[in-house]
Amino acid sequence: MKPSTDIADLLAVMAALRTPHTGCPWDLQQDFDSILRYTLEEAYEVADAIARKDMVDLKDELGDLLLQVVFHARLAQEQGAFEFGDVVKAITTKMIRRHPHVFGDVKDLPVERVNQIWDEIKRQEKAERRAARQALGFKDESAPSLLDDVPSSLPALTRAVKLQQKASSVGFDWNDARLVLAKIREEADELERALDQGHKPEIAEETGDLLFAMVNLARHVGADPESALRSTNDKFTRRFAYIEQALHASGRQMQNATLSEMDALWTEAKRQEKTQS
């Protein structure tokens, strides 16, 4: 086979990889669960390429993510559940339905009303999916919740933001970032008490509460917590590398340096960053 811009050829490649006896032994061993982690990894690599504004990498990473969609669709096709074309039809149907201001008769809506319509249609779709599952015999004894459509498989930071946004949509939210900051101080005090008691499960729980409150603050000040933490990770990496390089230049190993020496170099790295900015 030759490289192609036609999605049909990518589907043919996946079909060949999954063909018994002649396909790839590794691909033939995979199932939804085994490739899930690769799907998540590819999504993160797309995000990383975007953050670095690297269009060469982004092109490749989007292809890798698309391959994961094709792989999942192929597995579903083999089980007789659905095919890739059904995936395409589902998303085009959804986008047309959720944009009546583009594809329908409703025009010139403000952004706020567009968002309201989006949420209203999503609620309708959720009810329809629930009914469809029940028709197929799936038991769902839990009462419907506003938070039902926030997947538990999302990264924790992302899910925290979405849960808070959902709660905020019905007024369950702080109206001032300073009140969130006060909540953070309260959670930090509770964590300190748990540390004093030395009870590990409670310490872990209070740590989670503090993180959730920090995500809430990020949301209130208009900062995406995932992007903010990614930026801080990069900053930490740069400053740590500065410490390593400075010690290496003086003929020393980090293992032989004191914490105060490393902290002084950290401060020097911070000072240099401020000077260069």
DSSP string, 131-151: HHHHHTT----SPP-TTTTS-
User: Is the per-residue pLDDT at 270 higher than 90?
Assistant: yes
Mean pLDDT of the chain: 92
- Asked if residue 188 lies in contact with residue 152, where contact means CB atoms within 8 angstroms, the answer is no
Which of 59-68, 160-169, 228-237 has maximum average pLDDT? Answer: 59-68
Q: What is the pLDDT of residues 107-142, one digit of tens each?
A: 888 898 888 888 888 888 888 877 887 787 776 656
pLDDT at position 143 is: 66
The more confident residue out of 144 and 244 is 244
Dist. CA 244–CA 42, nearest whole Å: 31
Per-residue pLDDT band at 243 (split at 50, 70, 90)? very high
User: Is the per-residue pLDDT at 74 higher than 80?
Assistant: yes
User: Is the per-residue pLDDT at 187 higher than 90?
Assistant: yes
Average pLDDT over residues 57-86: 97
pLDDT at position 148 is: 81
Q: Where are the alpha helices (DSSP H) in the chain?
A: 7-17, 25-29, 32-51, 55-78, 84-98, 100-103, 111-135, 156-168, 177-197, 200-220, 225-249, 259-276
CA nearest neighbour of 183 among 205, 215, 161: 215
- Asked if residue 18 lies in contact with residue 27, where contact means CB atoms within 8 angstroms, the answer is yes
Show the domains of the chain with their CATH numbers: 7-135 (1.10.287.1080), 156-223 (1.10.287.1080), 227-276 (no CATH)
pLDDT at position 13 is: 97
Which of 85-94, 99-108, 109-118, 222-231 has maximum average pLDDT? Answer: 85-94
User: Is the per-residue pLDDT at 149 higher than 90?
Assistant: no
pLDDT at position 276 is: 85
User: Is the per-residue pLDDT at 245 higher than 70?
Assistant: yes
Average pLDDT over residues 29-56: 92
pLDDT at position 222 is: 94
The total of other beta-carbon atoms located within 10 Å of residue 175's CB is 9
Instruction: Tell me what percent of the residues of the chain surpass a pLDDT of 70.
Output: 98
pLDDT at position 140 is: 63
Q: What is the pLDDT of residues 5-15, one digit of tens each?
A: 999 999 999 99
pLDDT at position 125 is: 84
